[in-house]
Amino acid sequence: MRGDAFSSGMVASDAHDVPDVDLAFEDNEYLPAVAQDAESGDVLMLAYVTREALDRTRETGLAHYYSRSRDELWQKGETSGNVQHLKEIRVDCDGDALLYVIEQDGGACHTGFQSCFHRTIDGEVVGERVFDPDDVYE
């Protein structure tokens, strides 16, 4: 019973009747990945990953993404030094979205804010600015 396995809490997929984690890369060239600060729980950014970017993230322990506009794999913080140290990767129920739980060096946003989500939809700035992008990007 799927329900029994689910209700038993922290279980390994190979030990119980929990479905394997299938990722929807066959139907999607890219999947969205949300980066969340492991300590504060803040949502820091959303970017996209290919299978290769995901593999590189797991191999290195540093968050990698895929830029759809530049059409290239990139390591977060490669230029700025604001790398993301991976603590855990979670997958959603449909296997078409990822959650990177990370420790963020510096700030996640290229504008200098800790989070890319530092504005409300009304334009109010509610996030914290943690670095000056002029000091980081040439």
**137: contact with a copy of itself by CB under 8 A:** no
Q: Using CB under 8 A, pick the residue from 51, 97, 105, 106 that binds a copy of itself.
A: 97
17 annotated binding-site participant:
no
Q: What angle (nearest 5°) sits at the alpha carbon of residue 45, between those of residues 97 and 138?
A: 135
Q: Using CB under 8 A, pick the residue from 26, 70, 71, 121 that binds a copy of itself.
A: 121
Q: Using CB under 8 A, pick the residue from 1, 9, 71, 135 that binds a copy of itself.
A: 9
Contact partners, residue 29, CB within 8 Å, separation at least 6: 50
What residues does 103 pair with on adjacent strands? 85
**125: contact with a copy of itself by CB under 8 A:** yes
Q: Using CB under 8 A, pick the residue from 1, 12, 70, 135 that binds a copy of itself.
A: 12
Residue 25: phi and psi, rounded to 5, are -75, -20
**67: contact with a copy of itself by CB under 8 A:** no
96 annotated binding-site participant:
yes
Q: Using CB under 8 A, pick the residue from 62, 89, 105, 136 that binds a copy of itself.
A: 89
Which tokens belong to 129? 């600015």
Contact 118, 128 (CB under 8 A): yes
116 annotated binding-site participant:
yes
20 annotated binding-site participant:
no
Contact 91, 32 (CB under 8 A): no
Determine the 3-state secondary structure of 11 from DSSP.
coil
Which residue numbers belong to the known binding site for Zn(2+)? 93, 109, 116
